[in-house]
Structure 1
Amino acid sequence: MGQIYLIRHGQASFGSDNYDALSALGRQQGKVLGEWFAGQGQRFDRVVVGGMQRHRQTAAACMEGLGQSAPPEAAWQLEPGFDEYDHHEVLIRHRPEFDEPGAVQRFLATHENPKQAYQAIHEAAVGRWIGGDHDAQYGEPWPQFRSRCAGALQRLLESAGPSQNIAVFTSGGTIGCLCQGLLGLDDRHTAQLSWTFVNSAVTKIFYRPGKLALGYLNNYAHLEWWGQPGSVSYR
């Protein structure tokens, strides 16, 4: 039986001009994960990364922490099918005024708890996206996103050996979609699940021909092992 480790990227640069780049904490989260894997004697036969900067940066930090057991970067497989959905498009279809440069930052600056305020708007924007009434307004409607994620996993399974350990560096929305069928969730609960994923957390899936099973979900034991205040983040 093989194992696929779906690894959410480390903390990105929320509120900056380039969200896709990891923060200093995000890089450390990835490195601690690699160190934790090394301490568990974990080895990976393959490393797969989505097409986003934060995916590759998390993979690099994790492999640095893993050390001698890490597959070299030249052997990594790029799979854009594991990319996150376009957060910006989903947001501005709900709140068009946020398309203006700096509008989100100005909005957040007016709130005592900016992350909480942003989350409320984000949830409403995602609800509109997955609702199905406005699919023509999105470059990638929700059903297409789900299909893309499923296709990436299927291609991975078709190329996987019977008992490989595979690390996949991706995003929370993608992981939620890949777990939807395993957990029997509807679309709205799938979206809600993705908001609970911790940066650098690991979700493990067991695979064998024709069968998938969830091993564990949103595991961030490495951050608890690290024990640093503020190490657990969600965006």
Structure 2
Amino acid sequence: MATIYLVRHGQASFGKENYDQLSQTGWQQGRVLGRWMVGRITPDVVYGGDLERHRETVEAIASGFGSQFPDMQVAPGFNEFDHNAVLTRFRPEWADRSVMARDLQAFPKPARAFQESFVHAVQRWVAGDHDQDYDETWPAFRNRVLQAFEDVIEYADGGDVLVATSGGPISVICQHLLDLDDARALSLNEVIANTSVSRVLYSGARRSLSVFNNYSHLEAENPALVTFR
């Protein structure tokens, strides 16, 4: 059976003006993964969404892997959902970053306060009661990701594939393969580590989740590199 390796991007730049770029930790995570892949994973083709953090993750992996790493082909279907839109539909005042920063600083642990709000925002989006508020609904997001997944399998034609993507698409694919409800899919998204590798085996019409959220490459080199946001 052939394999699709679903790689979550390296740590992005939370709190910075441009979130959609890797932090220094994110770059290091990608290079560590590339070094770990040598002798273990040699993809025939590499895909990624068209987000900057996807492209940079592949660049970091290639740097660690060395020569003969395939160039990334862009597949926008693997893009993450618009987290800014999801959050600001739940907290419209947070469209102003200064207001969001002010509100979060009132909490003893601002990062935890943000995460709690974000979880509620995603739950509102997924519930479907306010679909008119979103350019892309939860069902539309799932359909987009699963179509990209099937397209990659068709184009790969039996080859091994690495896909640089985000936590949301990985959760959706796992939800589909394991027949999970939405709540369980969202719980998966909360624990997917940066540059973790999930492995899907495929042959003909068969698709099987073999490994989920493996980040042993980070633990082996430096446990401090394990991040989830």
Q: Equivalent residue for 2:50?
A: 51
Moved more, 120-129 or 177-186: 177-186
Q: How many angstroms apart in 1 are the aligned matches of 2:24 and 2:106? A: 25
1:81 corresponds in structure 2 to 77
User: What is the RMSD computed on CA atoms of the aligned residues?
Assistant: 1.1
Q: Distance in 2 between matches of 1:217 and 1:211?
A: 17
Corresponding residue to 1:107 among 97, 100, 103: 103
Alignment check: 8 A CA contact 1:92 1:98 kept: yes
TM-score with structure 2 setting the length: 0.97
Displacement after TM superposition at 1:69 (Å): 3.8
Contact 1:2 1:161 in 2 (8 A): no
- What's the offset of the Cα at 1:222? 0.5
2:167 equivalent among 143, 147, 172: 172
Measured after TM superposition, the shift of residue 103 of structure 1 is 2.4
Amino acid at match of 1:171: S
Task: Give the SS at the match of 1:102.
Answer: helix
Instruction: Give the deviation of 1:41 after TM superposition.
Output: 3.5
User: What is residue 200 of structure 1 aligned with on the other side?
Assistant: 195
Which runs of 5 or more residues in structure 1 are unaligned? none
Amino acid at match of 2:157: G
Q: Which amino acid aligns with 2:132?
A: A
Distance 1:66 1:155 in 2: 26
Q: CA deviation at 1:183?
A: 1.7
What's 1:21 paired with? 21
Name the counterpart of 1:36: 36
Q: Which runs of 4+ in 1 moved over 3 A?
A: none
How far apart in 1 are the matches of 2:40 and 2:177? 27
* CA deviation profile, 1:51-92 (whole Å, cap 9, x unmatched): 100000001000110112412x3xx21000000000000001
1:102 positional shift = 2.3
Task: Output the CA distance in 2 between the equivalents of 1:227 and 1:189.
Answer: 30
User: Does the CA contact (< 8 Å) of 1:182 and 1:213 recur in 2?
Assistant: yes
CA displacement at 1:130 relative to structure 2: 0.4
SS of match in other structure, 1:204: strand
Amino acid at match of 1:127: Q
Give the secondary-structure state (helix, strand or coil) at the position aligned to 2:22: coil
Matched letter for residue 194 of structure 1: N
Query: What displacement does 1:108 show?
Result: 2.5
Q: What is the rounded CA distance, in whole Å, between the counterparts of 1:187 and 1:66 in structure 2?
A: 36
Q: Deviations over 1:188-221 (max 9, x none)?
A: 2111211110011010000110000011000001
> For 1:222 and 1:155, how far apart are their aligned partners in 2?
29
Question: Identity over the aligned pairs, expressed in percent?
Answer: 43
Asked if structure 2 preserves the Cα contact closer than 8 Å seen for 1:2 and 1:165, the reply is yes
Letter in 1 for 2:8: R
In 1: Cα distance, 2:97 partner to 2:116 partner: 20
Instruction: Work out whether residues 43 and 69 of structure 1, in 8 Å CA contact, stay in contact via their aligned partners in 2.
Output: no
Find the aligned partners of 1:41 and 1:95 in 2 and give their Cα distance: 44
Deviation at 1:227? 2.1
Measure, in 2, the Cα distance between the counterparts of 1:80 and 1:223: 27
Distance in 1 (alpha carbons) for counterparts of 2:56 and 2:101: 24
**Distance between the aligned counterparts of 1:188 and 1:140, measured in 2?**
19
AA partner of residue 37 (structure 1) = M
| 1:67 counterpart residue number | 66
Contact 1:35/1:66 (<8 A) preserved: yes
State the distance in 1 between where 2:134 and 2:82 align. 9
